[in-house]
Structure 1
Amino acid sequence: MGSPHDVVIIGSGFGGIGMAIRLRQHGYRDVVVLEKAGGLGGTWRDNTYPGAACDVPSHLYSFSFDRKTDWSRRFPPQNEILDYLRDTAREHGVLPWIRFGTEVTEARFDEDAGYWRLSTTRGELAARVVVSACGQLNRPVPPPIPGRGSFRGTAFHSARWDHGTDLAGKRVAVIGTGASAIQIIPEIAREARRLTVFQRSAPYVIDKPDRAYRSWEKALLRSVPGTWELSRARIYSLYESRALGFVKYPRLMELLSRRFRQQLEEQVPDPEMRRKLTPDYPMGCKRILISSDYYPALAEPHVELVTDPIEEIVPAGVRTRDGREFQADVLVYATGFATSGFLAPMKVTGRGGRDLNEAWRGGAEAHLGITVSGFPNLFLLYGPYTNLGHNSIIYMLESQFRYVLGCLRAMLEAGLDWIDVRPDVQDAFGREMQERLRGTVWASGCDSWYMNADGKVVNNWPGFTFAYRRATRRPDPRHFVARRAASASGTTTW
């Protein structure tokens, strides 16, 4: 196994690449990034479906320390985001740190040695510090519909798009109307002979103010100091203000509701279709989607929206509960991801043989969404209570990078083997989150991917992103127990 590495990062999406760059900038060199796939990029590597793009503007959906001034559009498409991540990793010298095709199957904390032992599909290794950058949207979930294996045509999940399947002239069925589906459906509608869309719950969709950047705009951003920062700050302020409607004053969501109703009225002339497309839950309770071509695609004569529940998948297509059968040559499952397991399916064992799955039986918990009691020197990026409904997750990740670096620096200065957040601190943080979440729109009565199986909201941060940055600006020694490097056993306060 060899001597332990200083830091091992699991995952090479925005979290893993950004953390590796920040470690390198702070002088760390013994860093390994483990990536189960054959390339970096995380969700932007995996989701290559037609129309894939971000719903956060490009100037904000990028690292503050690696500006890009030549984005093609206001809202970046998938291929440009992936290219940006690849270029950033290469330019900052962290590409050689990545071990591709290496999936972590188990992580065990060796309390005597004071470091983590990792089992991977390509052997064993050890690490003084483990940073999980697995993300929340990396495990596609096919729908639990009877008969899926009986379908005679081609079927795949949107996150595992089959580019070898030509949709031109085909009968295509899309199951799901979430964030991926609203991007896919307009693209399929342009090719397919017949498109059937199966909707379980109508989403709120507002217009997407997207357009291509003009040449003079790119030149201005590139050559005039401060313009890129000003653009980023303007976008950040606009999106940050939306937190008021999500977490403080839900009535403010009415402003977005008007945009939704106006767009629906303008783009869907059929009153019955509009009824089907009108959600039955408060706006913001589920993810608000943006698209300017989704509703027009549904209004096309060769596209049918089906809201009757699906009974089963049959060899020729899909049968609904009312007995109708919809024939299809291709089935696309746009049914989302497993979002509340965080580190699943790897097995993680902490101090005293504590199993993380057991510790999280009632829902994932982590102090500040980063550290988990009983699991020393394990740091989560994009952990519980850190997802957003209104701003860029990259901003949250950069706050977490700083917090992790602060912990590593403090450990080095104090001569500590490991630090472990106190259980009472973690419990107090969890109670505070649940108390604050109770008054948000996410807890207003709908089912969403923000919740775990028990209906508990565990994904979202109930506040402003600048408040999270303030909360994570530096680790508080009083929050941890630790073991000093000179001591073979026993713990101390930090």
Structure 2
Amino acid sequence: MAEHGHERERAGRERGPHVRVAVIGSGFGGLGAAVRLRREGITDFVVLERAGSVGGTWRDNDYPGCACDVPSHLYSFSFAPNPDWPRAFSGQEHIRAYLEHVADVFRLRPHIRFDSEVTMMRWDGERLCWDIETSGGRLSADVVVSATGPLSDPKIPTEAELPGLGSFPGKVFHSARWDHGYDLRGKRVAMIGTGASAIQIVPAIQPEVDRLTLFQRTPPWVLPRVDRGISGVERWLHRQLPLTAQARRGLLWGIRELQVQAFTKRPEVLGVVERVAKRHLARVVDDPDLRARLTPDYRIGCKRILLSNTYYPALTRPNVDVVASGLAKVDGSTLVAADGSTAEVDAIVFGTGFHVTDMPIADRVVGADGRTLAEAWADGGMRSLRGASAAGFPNWMTIIGPNTGLGNSSMILMIESQLAYMADFVRQLDVLGGRVALDARPAAVAAWNERVQRRMERTIWNTGGCTSWYLDANGRNTTIWPGTTAEFRGATRRVELSEYEVLRVARPRTESEERSMKTDTVKVEAGA
């Protein structure tokens, strides 16, 4: 018996320290989860971050012109208001500074393990916990909260998808991995894509490059960006009277809640918005041929509506060419579009989006039946219970999971709703007592997703006549939430235990196991 006890202790050491909760990622979702855990009185947790600093997508996306298309006072935590936003729509540097501030104010840094990318995690059905391997070491956790986010892993064409890319002699990088050491001045640059990043990059680099060629597979709908600096008086007022900032946030939220009907139930109302966008295009672009190339052939709202006052003017400049076709192949330094157009370039910037419906983290999560999350989702696409729990993956939750995205409002609102659900999930584990886990019932997951997909049928995202990153490879919308943020808040206010199977450990832990886990927990809490 003593020999077996020593083996278990050695296995425990090899597994590394044990924590109550492991959070993956330190963007808005991860930091928000950490704050909520502390508010719940839980200090036995770690935040695993693959990079060397916090910020998530707002750390990685530091390309020229990067800014948010959601108003600043709505794009922040309700529990951490910022009265000093400098602009109505803040830039990347201000949002990243805000997240650094949150990490400091809520004393989260002792919990963060930087340079610790999760390489694999496996559910241990005997111990009812997750064994986690990271680039910085191993550990185990009762609960895993995955807050990697959908905009974290860039989608870059492969050699098979874009023949000749590997032999391109110039510089190649993605907008989310901007190479600040490469000087674009005087270079011939190709911008691939016309999404939210591209329409910010194009006007930022156009004045300094020799020639800019935009490869446009699909033109976006672009509305004017009603941006302005927030005056010192306004900021003073928000600091002295916090209720004024709350009222501002409430007004911004209410307007966007009212807009949801147009996206989900009455898409014909968006015709008014479409006319505004067309007037915006006609006012800026005089050339009828260019204007035709920039006019979408799908209904506004089907793809994300973009905001810019500088994108169209930049495209009219003499050193800019718009190729109304996607990039098909690379021949040396010559780029060839699907329509046969060519361009000689020195650098390629990919604004080709992210792995949203095929998140790489899903390949690294092995559930109760030995399958990865990616394998579990292979046949029907991403699906989970209330955007959080996947069947067969006990005590594992996502922040910004399947069908929690928004097409017109702030994702921070959705994140906070999921944080409330996470908090109640952990509370339910405490109420049940002992070594216990909750696994979403397949029937509950299926019922929830059937309801979501049924509501999705009438939405502009499914009926607008476009192909967007909201849809997976099978054309299923696994990304967007087809309702208001208030509805989602109500749906995630508490955990319904009837939707979960309660798992209990098959045997009690030995004294040596309990002693080993307690020792490891103390080390983690101390920041060892």
* TM interval, short-chain normalised: over 0.9
Q: Which residue of 2 aligns with 1:442?
A: 461
Runs of 4+ aligned residues of structure 1 deviating over 6 Å after TM superposition are none
CA distance in 2, matches of 1:49, 1:15: 22
**Counterpart for residue 364 of structure 1:** 382
Within a 5 Å distance, the mapping from 1:406-417 to structure 2 comes to 406-415=424-433, 417=436
Structure whose residues are more often helix by fraction = 2
2:421 equivalent to 1:403: yes
2:490 to 470, 476, 482: 470
How do 1:5-154 residues align onto structure 2 when only pairs under 5 Å count? 5-143=19-157, 144-154=161-171
Cα distance change of structure 1 residues 38 and 358 upon mapping to structure 2, 3 Å threshold: same
* 1:403-455 residue CA offsets vs partner (Å, 9 max, x unmatched): 11001112102215111111101000111111111110111132111011111
Distance 1:311 1:348, change over 3 A: closer
**Aligned twin of 2:520:** none
The equivalent residue for 1:267 is 284
> Equivalent of 1:241, from 258, 261, 265?
258
Instruction: State the 1:192 CA deviation.
Output: 1.1
Cα distance in 1 between the residues matched to 2:248 and 2:93: 22
Instruction: Indicate the residue corresponding to 1:223 in structure 2.
Output: 240
Q: Is the 8 A contact 1:342 1:383 kept in 2?
A: no
SS in 2 for 1:226: helix
Distance 1:432 1:345 in 2: 24
Corresponding residue number in structure 2 for 1:252: 269
* 2:203 alignment counterpart: 186
State how far apart, in whole Å, the 1-side matches of 2:273 and 2:75 are. Answer: 22
| 1:428 is the counterpart of 2:442 | no
2:177 is the alignment partner of 1:160: yes
Deviation of 1:42 (Å): 0.8
Q: What is the percentage of aligned positions where both structures have the same residue?
A: 45
In the alignment, does 2:230 pair up with 1:195?
no
Q: CA deviation at 1:183?
A: 0.3
TM-score (norm 1): 0.96
Deviation at 1:166, TM superposition (A): 1.4
CA distance in 2, matches of 1:190, 1:197: 14
Give the 3-state SS of the residue equivalent to 1:430 in structure 2. helix
TM-superposed CA distance for 1:153, in Å, is 1.5
Unaligned runs of 5+ in 2: 1-14, 510-528
Contact preservation (8 Å) 2:26, 2:56: yes
Query: Among 471, 477, 485, which residue is 1:457 paired with?
Result: 477
- For the 8 Å contact 2:51–2:114, the answer to whether it is kept is yes
Q: Secondary structure at the match of 1:353?
A: coil
TM-score, normalised to structure 2, is: 0.90
1: CA distance, partners of 2:55 / 2:359: 17
Match of 2:298 among 281, 290, 294: 281
1:376-387 correspondence runs (5 A): 376-387=394-405
- Name the CA distance, whole Å, in 2 between partners of 1:108 and 1:124: 12
| 8 A Cα contact 2:363 2:374, kept in partner | no
1:254 Cα deviation after fit: 1.1
Q: Distance in 1 between matches of 2:338 and 2:268?
A: 37
Amino acid across the alignment from 1:28: I
d(CA) in 1 for partners of 2:507, 2:494:
26
Instruction: Give the counterpart letter for 1:187 in structure 2.
Output: A
Residues 363 and 372 in structure 2, CA contact (< 8 A), matched pair in contact too: no
Deviation of residue 314 (structure 1)? 2.3
CA shift for structure 1 position 310: 2.8
